[in-house]
Structure 1
């Protein structure tokens, strides 16, 4: 019966139905035909949303909306431009540095693309870069958002697998920095090969300082978040609320305030995005409960462990599985449906659950940039006004640092676990 439910989900998805419909309809039909009381539907969906860690999701979405509406993103971009504009690759390197800074507050790749990405793409096009290349580097750099803390996908992963969210968030720091280093090296290589423009002179200390001061309050945000969680001052969920208060404070104190119209837009955008995320969470919870009733997780565990008991071999198998899943499902849906299935057998085989979590999220971020359903590609095509095939072609060189970073994270778990072990 579980395979019928899964096949129905796949059929609805292929036919072009929204993800939430593809998940919910087979689940509802199963409950009806299996003779369960219909009240069970509301009970399972409500129970899934009754989760303290999930409170952080809408709050961090609100943080990203606030930053985009307050103009903080412009100050971040100007500082990144001053620091990295002369580095080979010019504004492409600025794009990478800006995304790393912005990721310390937004926690989402699509928020990075939709906010800072608009500024970056426009500036790169005006400087002589092609629209496709500007969109490609914006997408490749935005991947760092859900890896570097805070991270909405990591919070969702931790909530469905019962892994420490604090350790997961801290574990993402080193992989994110390593990926940024590989990405900047790739940008420099492409700049040398194609003669990309860059700033004519290196910035003076005075110029760096003059652009650092306006950006400093925003730059302090990730320090506040990570430091507060490491010191045990607040939980990841409380950190989200602290961030909102902090962003509002610096907006009114340092950035000239915010109009009611902009604040209202940020609130409306948050409600709209949160509704889309949480309805998927609730529907996926019902779907997952059905798979559990049908003992699919146990069957999947036995099948995986029958292939190998070597943790590295299992990680390579799961990498392949997740790359395919990420091509078709958005990160939230994939995490809710696949994470409980994958985590059980690999943890039994000896894979560290925190290490697995970072690998899981990194795979899904690659999926955001991979056809046919890469959501980031659709957003980039809309913002850059460039055809998606051209963007994908420009993206091809950036799969080298993407898959290179994934390979390093997979083979060398200490890179990921070094900081979390300090908390244990």
Structure 2
């Protein structure tokens, strides 16, 4: 037994990988393997429950996650996205590649309500992709690739579920992180919009029929309550009216009022489906969160973060070199692992090194979240591409051929954010939230 205790960490990792390979969720694998480590190392197994309780129930910020999930599900079920789509079509539909521009704009607007790239693709993304491919107006691969790429903006623009996770493990301000994602999100949308405009002219993509100006006021009024949601959310946080977690509750309540009473498109049956879907998603996320808290306790006890720090210290890397290496690592991991897993399990290992190098953790958070969002559209395992294939029936091969140009643009933006921290930090500093 003493021999096994010397290799407890290695055995735990092998067991975790083995359980995952069998098809069980990673959260379960982390919990089982971590408890097995406690047994081998001769530690109190009750530490597992203690870390879960302290981590999940002792952290007020964690409550924001199920509330944002609930709000996003209501928005999708309540067809609120239809109003947003019509509004975006009226604004940019007449530009070259009109529907493609609408695709980008609706992703930005919807991201201010859901905080999830998957919710974006499954909701408004499905509708706009169908519109683009109808009557062969746009190539299927292009429509699917653009929908997946534009959805990347969801977790960058506030609110953002991955940003909440990062705040949990880095002890940074959710409010500063939310505000730090605003400029990068607009950069993504502007860059994609310019690229689509050029591609539309070169490839002869259609221009949509102009919507009469007299209809604009009615279109705006129909979309106004939905457009008001991110304003209420961010305005409340930055005015000090409520905390980010309370803002999540406000967004969920406002989404419910909007869908059930303002638009009257959410009945009892749809509401029950929203509740069931939210509970299922929250359960999956919570299991990963619980596993991560136990796993992180183990790696802390084994001084893994210190070992990682010593490794980088011996390499004598500067800030830029460290960030570039981290970007490469996270881009690779993002192609194979879930975003929440990377944030909760891998990211804590590098926080001490980042602090020692003087890297602002708010800047690091937005860079890493953006990095992992790129992983969602990176072949061969871009999960957003698989979702579009399942929902819209677009072959993966066609989307992958069109994805590379968008990936090149996103990686270029990632490098800009890496080299110029003020692109992330300027707005929080200007608002007075960050010194």
Q: Same fold (TM over 0.5)?
A: yes
In structure 2, what is the equivalent of residue 381 of structure 1? 389
- Work out the CA distance in 1 between the residues paired with 2:86 and 2:363: 35
Q: How does 1:355-374 map to 2 (within 5 A)?
A: 355-374=363-382
Structure 1 gap segments, 5+ residues each: none
In structure 2, what is the equivalent of residue 248 of structure 1? 256
Name which of structure 1's ranges 259-268 and 309-318 shifts more when overlaid on structure 2: 309-318
The TM-score with structure 2 as length reference comes to: 0.93
Number of aligned residues: 423
Deviation digits for residues 393-416 of structure 1, max 9, x if unmatched?
221111122112101111111111
Paired residue for 1:315, among 317, 323, 327?
A: 323
Report how far residue 11 of structure 1 moved.
Answer: 4.5
Report how far residue 253 of structure 1 moved.
Answer: 4.0
In structure 2, what is the equivalent of residue 36 of structure 1? 43
- Work out the CA distance in 2 between the residues paired with 1:373 and 1:45: 31
Deviation digits for residues 10-62 of structure 1, max 9, x if unmatched?
44445654322432332232122222233222222222211210100000000
In structure 1, what is the equivalent of residue 154 of structure 2? 145
In structure 2, what is the equivalent of residue 121 of structure 1? 129
Report how far residue 125 of structure 1 moved.
Answer: 1.3
Does the 8 A contact of 1:329 with 1:373 survive in 2?
no
2:83 match: secondary structure: helix
In structure 2, what is the equivalent of residue 344 of structure 1? 352
Does the 8 A contact of 2:31 with 2:290 survive in 1?
no
Paired residue for 2:186, among 154, 168, 177?
A: 177
Name which of structure 1's ranges 320-329 and 34-43 shifts more when overlaid on structure 2: 34-43
- Work out the CA distance in 2 between the residues paired with 1:25 and 1:127: 52
**Structure 1 residue 354 corresponds to structure 2 residue 359:** no
Deviation digits for residues 78-108 of structure 1, max 9, x if unmatched?
1111111111212111110000000001000
Report how far residue 156 of structure 1 moved.
Answer: 0.8
2:350 match: secondary structure: helix
Q: How does 1:146-295 map to 2 (within 5 A)?
A: 146-201=155-210, 203-295=211-303
**Alignment CA distance shift 1:82-1:172 (3 Å):** same
In structure 2, what is the equivalent of residue 9 of structure 1? 16
- Work out the CA distance in 2 between the residues paired with 1:308 and 1:273: 42
- Work out the CA distance in 2 between the residues paired with 1:130 and 1:300: 46
Does the 8 A contact of 2:260 with 2:267 survive in 1?
no
In structure 1, what is the equivalent of residue 336 of structure 2? 328
In structure 1, what is the equivalent of residue 4 of structure 2? none
* Cα RMSD, aligned residues only: 1.6
Report how far residue 318 of structure 1 moved.
Answer: 0.8
- Work out the CA distance in 2 between the residues paired with 1:167 and 1:330: 24
Deviation digits for residues 129-148 of structure 1, max 9, x if unmatched?
23322211111010000000
Structure 2 gap segments, 5+ residues each: 1-6
Does the 8 A contact of 1:214 with 1:254 survive in 2?
no
**Alignment CA distance shift 1:209-1:234 (3 Å):** same
Paired residue for 1:102, among 110, 114, 127?
A: 110
Does the 8 A contact of 2:79 with 2:265 survive in 1?
no
Deviation digits for residues 347-400 of structure 1, max 9, x if unmatched?
210111110000010011011112344322221110121222322222111112
Report how far residue 9 of structure 1 moved.
Answer: 3.3
